[in-house]
Amino acid sequence: MKPTVYMEEMDAFTYREKLKRDAVVFVPVGALEQHGSHMAMCVDAALTKAMAGATAQALTDSDEDALEGIVAAPINYGYRSQQRSGGGFHLSGTTSLRGSTLIALARDIVFSLVRQGARKIVLMNGHYENYQFVFEGAQLALEDARKEGAGDARIQLLSYWDFVDDATIAKLYPDGFTGWDLEHAGVMETSLMLLFYPDLVDMDKVDDPLYEGLPAELPNYDVLPIVADYTPPSGCLSSPAASSRDKGVVLRDVAVRNMVDAIRAEFA
Amino acid sequence: MKPTVYMEEMDAFTYREKLKRDAVVFVPVGALEQHGSHMAMCVDAALTKAMAGATAQALTDSDEDALEGIVAAPINYGYRSQQRSGGGFHLSGTTSLRGSTLIALARDIVFSLVRQGARKIVLMNGHYENYQFVFEGAQLALEDARKEGAGDARIQLLSYWDFVDDATIAKLYPDGFTGWDLEHAGVMETSLMLLFYPDLVDMDKVDDPLYEGLPAELPNYDVLPIVADYTPPSGCLSSPAASSRDKGVVLRDVAVRNMVDAIRAEFA
Amino acid sequence: MKPTVYMEEMDAFTYREKLKRDAVVFVPVGALEQHGSHMAMCVDAALTKAMAGATAQALTDSDEDALEGIVAAPINYGYRSQQRSGGGFHLSGTTSLRGSTLIALARDIVFSLVRQGARKIVLMNGHYENYQFVFEGAQLALEDARKEGAGDARIQLLSYWDFVDDATIAKLYPDGFTGWDLEHAGVMETSLMLLFYPDLVDMDKVDDPLYEGLPAELPNYDVLPIVADYTPPSGCLSSPAASSRDKGVVLRDVAVRNMVDAIRAEFA
Amino acid sequence: MKPTVYMEEMDAFTYREKLKRDAVVFVPVGALEQHGSHMAMCVDAALTKAMAGATAQALTDSDEDALEGIVAAPINYGYRSQQRSGGGFHLSGTTSLRGSTLIALARDIVFSLVRQGARKIVLMNGHYENYQFVFEGAQLALEDARKEGAGDARIQLLSYWDFVDDATIAKLYPDGFTGWDLEHAGVMETSLMLLFYPDLVDMDKVDDPLYEGLPAELPNYDVLPIVADYTPPSGCLSSPAASSRDKGVVLRDVAVRNMVDAIRAEFA
Amino acid sequence: MKPTVYMEEMDAFTYREKLKRDAVVFVPVGALEQHGSHMAMCVDAALTKAMAGATAQALTDSDEDALEGIVAAPINYGYRSQQRSGGGFHLSGTTSLRGSTLIALARDIVFSLVRQGARKIVLMNGHYENYQFVFEGAQLALEDARKEGAGDARIQLLSYWDFVDDATIAKLYPDGFTGWDLEHAGVMETSLMLLFYPDLVDMDKVDDPLYEGLPAELPNYDVLPIVADYTPPSGCLSSPAASSRDKGVVLRDVAVRNMVDAIRAEFA
Amino acid sequence: MKPTVYMEEMDAFTYREKLKRDAVVFVPVGALEQHGSHMAMCVDAALTKAMAGATAQALTDSDEDALEGIVAAPINYGYRSQQRSGGGFHLSGTTSLRGSTLIALARDIVFSLVRQGARKIVLMNGHYENYQFVFEGAQLALEDARKEGAGDARIQLLSYWDFVDDATIAKLYPDGFTGWDLEHAGVMETSLMLLFYPDLVDMDKVDDPLYEGLPAELPNYDVLPIVADYTPPSGCLSSPAASSRDKGVVLRDVAVRNMVDAIRAEFA
């Protein structure tokens, strides 16, 4: 088996050696969700796994300190998509967990990693709606960990897009940036997919009338049951038309560099 | 995007067409767990995803009826490994969910699929310890589905190894078969990994003294807290030494053929 | 008893008459939380109750349509304060609910109101961290309501500050606006408290060195356990120094007017 | 801000000083529930807050020892009203929590107070049906508190009416006392409301035929679903006709004095 | 197999015949708890089973109407004993369920019986502390039952001692009656045990100094953690000295007769 | 009261003496479930109680070491019967708990016993479907126990039939043994009932056409909702015709002897 940062592709004995060296364990938290007709539904899980992999690799490769990274298996399912950030959980293909389930899932995984010896954990979020539930799960895991004598465990929670800095945003979105919530299936996600999983994107679909009228104009509130008409017909909230593999490279490089800095700031 | 049975690699519009044709949706239920020093830790999730993929493909390709298959994203984490079937949840690398979490996860995913329109669902298990919790989750999802007016949803629950018939077992295990529970990281899983993910197996490791003394002789009960000495040092419960890619082909072909028959028996 | 929009101050028979006329029922969702040394800890619950009261009254008083409003008792306790929006749940005075508790609380209250006959419900949030949990509770309540034959119930979820428009923000924050998350105990909350509960504010405290160095500069991630040093000593995230009762009037008027419009758009 | 026993009206720094002096923290546990046509629906929460305030003040003012009191925000919603003690949860206006929600709410609030440093907590109940659920929540909080090293926290649970002694009962109910369960919206609650919140009572309503035939004669069992006919039309279980502000003064003075004694017995 | 009212001793086919005739199904809800040194610990479960059996038999035997009775297996474990009604859950032998567990247990059993076809269910309580949790479980079961189309199910909840009338109390407690809460291991329970399970009582033990000083004088509040000194050394709250089999006969006859009347009033 | 191993028939003071001597506490985990027309429905609970009693008595009587046994009250209700091991939970008479309820029940009972001082606990299962849920409950109890300073508690989990050795099986099933899962209401359970509770068996019923065609041939998967036709009309999965009291004696003696050995191996 070849060297890897992915825990799924690692045997247990190799993993244990890394843990003994106090490796940082990343948990990608994604979703299985519609992303328009131009992209596959794995986006949130697959991109977060790829971004966590790139970050773990950069951490490991750097000579600055002894930190190395491991990426645990992604959480493939996420919290209910909301209309203002993902089009809504009424859309077929979007497969949703209840809030309490995602809390429990994050708690159990973090707690189990801590019990194995992990003390430096990064929960990397890739589905906007997940954050609060994952935060809660992490806190519950720490409360449980303390009673097992693992009070020194530490968790960093982040969404990878928050590490794209303003200068990069200004450059990549020359016509103005509408916020990460509206970036569902837009330029950022599409560009990163073109970089990491080009076979799972079909830019030709973007010319379809389905994609007109973006970015979506959504109310500044939610309504339940969901009012289907508020979501654009493609399910995308902003246009992916300006996406490119090159933008994907820029996005990855900036975000990974900034995440590595943030992780070092907390764990080195 | 190329045709695929994998929901993760499918766009939502293609998926909706398949659902309209009443496709069978498979949910692979795996684990992230130590599998000795000779295999990666993704075995239970990765094999189940592959077996579900092969089964969904066979169903789709067949001319006998109009059934087609979709494979949802795998559940990557499973219930606590038990010593008599997986070496025990005390082993580092083995990352465990509580029972209530796995129940909730199975319930939410099944319920969400039903709400999207799926009426034929196969929960394919690949981690021995999961079964009862997944069964419970499926039943709860059906109870919830009824109140949404989806009382015609139907779920088939199975573990793929149960579809390897006695003749095949006799042929593949000439020295006697010790049961599927002890097959943790043994000939079946290793042969299938050699077939589907040969890069994630290293048969050279099997010569290590770690692998002596298998199959494990375990008591006919469980003890908590776990008595670590009961588990063999490799974490494998039976020897993978006699594994081969060819056996993987036989195992896959037999199990897929029998699963296709069983699925047809219930859903055609 | 004098006429009132507050359900707490209304007798049950009067309330039933209003429900028969299909009144909109507001549920204020607050918190009990430190808000620096210059304000009382009830801010999130008390302001939301006052804003809901003003909105319900405006709705009732208007001649445009027959809508009237009722304000249910506030949820006095909220989700754990996070450092980036409330200073952190480690601070004494900040009294926190688990995520699952807030989900259950929102679900039960909404469900109970629906069972009583309410079909138009506004969940008005006043504590940044609550939103996702309240959303989940509302969805669970609707799922339960459907089985009681109340599938026509409808819920609008909003945070009152989202109804302060950009023009007003530009006017009230001439030196730039840092976002609603950092507004914890800042100009908006303090100005509204000066309007609604002047006795619970002491602007003299703002001159204290405790209040220097605001707005806080917080990392773009969370860490657990909380790193106390990241929170400014006052517990406020931005300076309340420029607050005034007049700004409170502007904020109230703008937000109430816009909320009334949004409520009409959904319920009239 | 003026001195107060109410945590809601206190700034966090003042509160922290009190906690350092080991103040007794009261948590009023109420309900939002119909109380006939002659009283507002806040009775259980509002009276308990007032009684807790009076008790905390008496404790603070006394020279006998150094105990002082703080009153946390009331729990505004309570357990389902039962016919034999509150008329039943089928009545519109009565807004109910599930048992598990009230358990969680009491647990979280107590646990959060303990984490802040509170070691002397009084859970004051004002809604008959709440008691067992609040008791359970308190016990769970203590179990959690122990693992945080706060094993010295102590909780006193009481219902304020249990501190009205037999002599007072004999005097205030010359025609016989039917028990605290039947006192729903009767002489005790009405007299205390006339004392604390006279604007929320309308004694003229009591002459209405709705109020005839009290006290209610209820079976010595419960039936579910509720048999609406068992509840008197007013929703009151005993007549409030003999209520007066003077009786309110007597009730408050006796109960507060006896509660102060009981609190001193446990915490001084 | 001989005719019986006990479901445990009945075969399924006989049971189904009875259910078709719309039999009343009793569920005895007990506890496993210390009852002094003079009685076995099964008292609450065993007596409730016996009382339910006698009531079911009387209902079946009567010629007045066609009602017949079935007694399901008892719930053997109950809610935490409280000091004011059972001596406290700190006492060894007293084996306690959490509130949420008892709620779930009652819900599941009632729901399962309804799904089988039962429409008339009596939850007979025999452990003071259980009542509220069982009530909640019953309500949740009915809510679930409605979605299964079983909205006509009906549940009666009662504690058997509430059917001992005042005249009988006056006769059996000539020196005054201190209330059913204090009757833990006192004259009522002991007399009934002498009737139903004489081998599980040893009246000689009652002369022991352990039994002096009864009835216990307990505060009118609870304290957690429990103050062990408040409980008498025997664990009994009132003296069993005056118990006799004859009193047991009277208690049984009166309570059974009154329960039969109450059951007829609701279900005939 | 006469000496007994049954906690239900023991007074608390005697029990405490036994616990001080570090007795092994058995918890029988059963079910209330149809067992054909020839047996009563208590089989799983009643047999497990009897087997636990025999094992506890044998342990106590032996001179080999100082171990003694106590049998706690049985858990009378179990997890949903599955078609492949119990005929299915759709059958009337079969009364089912949800998975989460059985987990909670096992957790609470084990935790309460540990808190009382028990350090050696045997969870004896007698209903095939229960095992995983009871295992989970036991693990949760141990996690809770550790925080109460009872980290030395130890639990053994077993199903009594697993202690019938191969030689005995060969002798008792001369025509071949189809596995313990199919033994529902078959020779083993019936023979043991004939030994322990002969009044609750009626072997004449076995000649009924209902009993033809056994053993059942069931698919190697589950389907939900249950397909009623898969279950034989009697509800039995294998024929009880060859049952006898003598076989019951052999089964009991072998299983008890082997269980005693296993318990000694862990606890002596």
Of B93, B97, B200, the CB nearest to A15: B93
**Mean pLDDT across the stretch E109-134?**
98
Angstrom distances, CA of residue C228 to CA of C218, C233, D114:
12, 9, 19
Total beta-carbon pairs less than 8 A apart between chain A and chain D = 6
Give the model's pLDDT for residue B63. 85
Rounded Cα gap, residues B203 and B190, in angstroms? 9
**CA gap A203, A241 in Å, rounded:** 8
Nearest CA distance, E224 vs chain D (angstrom): 5
F165 close to F258: Cβ distance less than 8 angstroms? yes
Percent helix, percent strand, percent coil in chain B, to nearest 5: 50, 15, 35
Question: What digits encode the pLDDT tens for the residues B80-109?
Answer: 999 999 999 999 999 999 999 999 999 999
Contacts of E147 in chain C (CB under 8 A): 147
Task: Please confirm, yes or no, whether E44 is among the known catalytic residues.
Answer: yes
Q: Are E59 and E122 in contact (CB under 8 A)?
A: no
Looking at residue A119, its pLDDT comes to 98
**Axis-axis angle for helices F131-147, B131-147 (nearest 10):** 100
Which residues lie closer than 8 Å to F146 by C-beta, 6 or more apart?
A: A147, A148
Residue F189 a catalytic site member: yes
Residue A89 confidence (pLDDT): 98
Question: What are the distances in angstroms from CA F55 to CA B253, C234, E137, F26, F253?
Answer: 47, 66, 35, 9, 9
pLDDT band at A147 (very low <50, low <70, confident <90, very high): confident
Q: Distance, in angstroms, between F105 CA and closest chain D CA?
A: 16
Mean pLDDT of D181-189: 94
> Which residue from D111, D199, D104, D197 is spatially nearest to D149, judged by alpha carbons?
D111
Q: Find, among C134, C151, C159, C149, the residue nearest to C52 by Cα.
A: C159
pLDDT tops 90 at residue E64 = no
Q: Mind listing the pLDDT tens digit for each residue in C192-213?
A: 999 999 999 999 999 999 999 9
pLDDT, residue B46, reads: 98
**Residue-averaged pLDDT of chain D:** 97
- 0.90 cut: is pTM over it? yes
Cα–Cα distance, A220 to A218 (Å, whole number): 6
- Look up residue C65 and give its DSSP letter: S
DSSP code of residue E186: S
Neighbouring C-beta atoms of residue F118, cutoff 10 Å: 26
Catalytic residue (one of E8, E22, E35, E175): E35
Q: How far are the Cα atoms of A69, D249, E252 from residue A4, in angstroms, in the given order?
A: 10, 76, 74
The answer to whether the Cβ–Cβ distance between D12 and C101 falls below 8 Å is no
Judge: F146–A144 Cβ closer than 8 Å, yes or no: no
C184 is catalytic: yes
What is the model's pLDDT at position E117?
98
Residue of chain D nearest C19, judged by CA positions = D92
Q: Give me the pLDDT at residue B65, please.
A: 86
Contacts of C44 by beta carbon, 8 Å cutoff, 6+ apart: C30, C31, C32, C33, C78, C126, C127
Task: With beta carbons under 8 A apart, name residues in chain F contacting A147.
Answer: 143, 146-147
Return the residue of D nearest to A148 by Cα: D147
The second-level CATH assignment, the architecture, of D7-178+252-263 is: 3-Layer(aba) Sandwich (3.40)
Q: What is the mean pLDDT of residues A3-17?
A: 98
Å between C108 CA and nearest CA of chain A: 15
B219-244 pLDDT per residue, tens: 999 999 999 999 999 999 999 999 99
Mark whether C38 is an active-site residue: no
pLDDT at F19 over 90: yes
| Per annotation, catalytic residue among F44, F144, F207, F253 | F44
Grade residue E147 by pLDDT with cuts at 50, 70 and 90.
confident
Question: So what's the pLDDT on residue E54?
Answer: 98
Region F204-229: what's the mean pLDDT? 96
Q: Is the confidence at residue D264, as pLDDT, over 90?
A: yes
pLDDT in tens, A216-246: 999 999 999 999 999 999 999 999 999 999 9
Size of interface E-F (CB pairs under 8 A): 179
Helix, strand, coil percent content, chain E, rounded in steps of 5: 50, 15, 35
What are C127-174's pLDDT values in tens digits? 999 999 999 999 999 999 998 889 999 999 999 999 999 999 999 999
Q: Which of D136, D221, D265 sits opposite E157 (nearest CB)?
A: D221
Helical (H) or strand (E) element with C63: none
Under an 8 A CB cutoff, do A221 and C154 touch?
Answer: no
Q: F125: closest CA among F163, F69, F70?
A: F163
Nearest residue of D to residue C39, measured between CA atoms: D11
- What is d(CA B239, CA A184) in angstroms, rounded to the nearest whole number? 48
**pLDDT score for A73:** 98
Q: Which positions of B are catalytic? A: 33, 35, 44, 127, 129, 184, 189
Q: Per-residue pLDDT for A112 more than 90? A: yes
**B69-71 sheet: strands from edge to edge:** B69-71, B24-29, B120-125, B154-159, F222-224
Which stretches within chain B are classed as H helix?
Answer: 12-20, 43-61, 83-86, 99-116, 131-147, 166-172, 187-196, 245-267
Residue of D nearest to A142 (CA): D148
Question: Taking the mean position of all CA atoms in its chain, how far away is CA F251?
Answer: 13
- E240 vs B90, E51, E235, F8, CA distance in Å? 51, 19, 12, 19
Reported as half-sphere exposure (CB side, CA atoms, 13 A), residue A178 has a value of 19
The 3-state secondary structure of D128-160 reads HHHHHHHHHHHHHHHHHHHHCCCCCCEEEEEEH
> Of residues E61, E63, E65, E127, which has the active-site annotation?
E127
The residue type of F170 is A
Query: Which residues of chain E have a CB within 8 Å of the CB of D158?
Result: 220-222
pLDDT at residue E63, rounded to an integer: 85
Q: Which of B78, A236, E130, D112 is nearest to C33 (CA)?
A: D112
Name every residue whose Cβ is closer than 8 Å to that of residue D228 and which is 6 or more positions away in sequence: D88, D90
Q: CA F160, F163, F169: angle at the middle one, nearest 5?
A: 115
Q: How high is the pLDDT of residue F44?
A: 98
Domain ranges for chain B: 7-178+252-263
Task: Yes or no: say if B245 and B198 are a contact pair by the CB < 8 Å rule.
Answer: yes
pLDDT in tens, chain C (268 residues): 999 999 999 999 999 999 999 999 999 999 999 999 999 999 999 999 999 999 999 999 998 888 999 999 999 999 999 999 999 999 999 999 999 999 999 999 999 999 999 999 999 999 999 999 999 999 999 999 998 889 999 999 999 999 999 999 999 999 899 899 899 999 999 999 999 999 999 999 999 999 999 999 999 999 999 999 999 999 999 999 999 999 999 999 999 999 999 999 999 9
Instruction: Say if the Cβ atoms of E92 and F34 lie within 8 Å.
Output: no
Is there a contact between E32 and F98 if contact means CB atoms under 8 Å apart?
A: no
pLDDT tens-digit series, residues A55-104? 999 999 998 888 999 999 999 999 999 999 999 999 999 999 999 999 99
**Quick check: D24 and D67 in contact, CB under 8 A?**
yes
**Most D-contacting residue of C41, C79, C89, C200 (CB-CB within 10 A), to test interface:** C41
Look at E42 and F76 and tell me if their CB atoms are within 8 Å. Answer: no
User: Measured between CA atoms, how close is D147 to chain F, in angstroms?
Assistant: 6
Tokens of A8: 């799924």
pLDDT, one tens digit per residue, over D195-210 is 999 999 999 999 999 9
Q: What H or E segment, with its residue span, contains residue C29? A: strand C24-29
Q: Of these residues, C9, C63, C64, C129, which one is catalytic?
A: C129
Environment class of C173 (CB within 10 Å of its CB; exposed 0-12, middle 13-18, buried 19+): middle
Residue A107, min C-alpha distance to chain F (Å)? 14
* D18-40 residue pLDDT tens: 999 999 999 999 999 999 999 99
With a threshold of 0.95, tell me whether the complex ipTM lies above it: yes
Nearest alpha-carbon partner for A225 in C129, E143, C157: C157
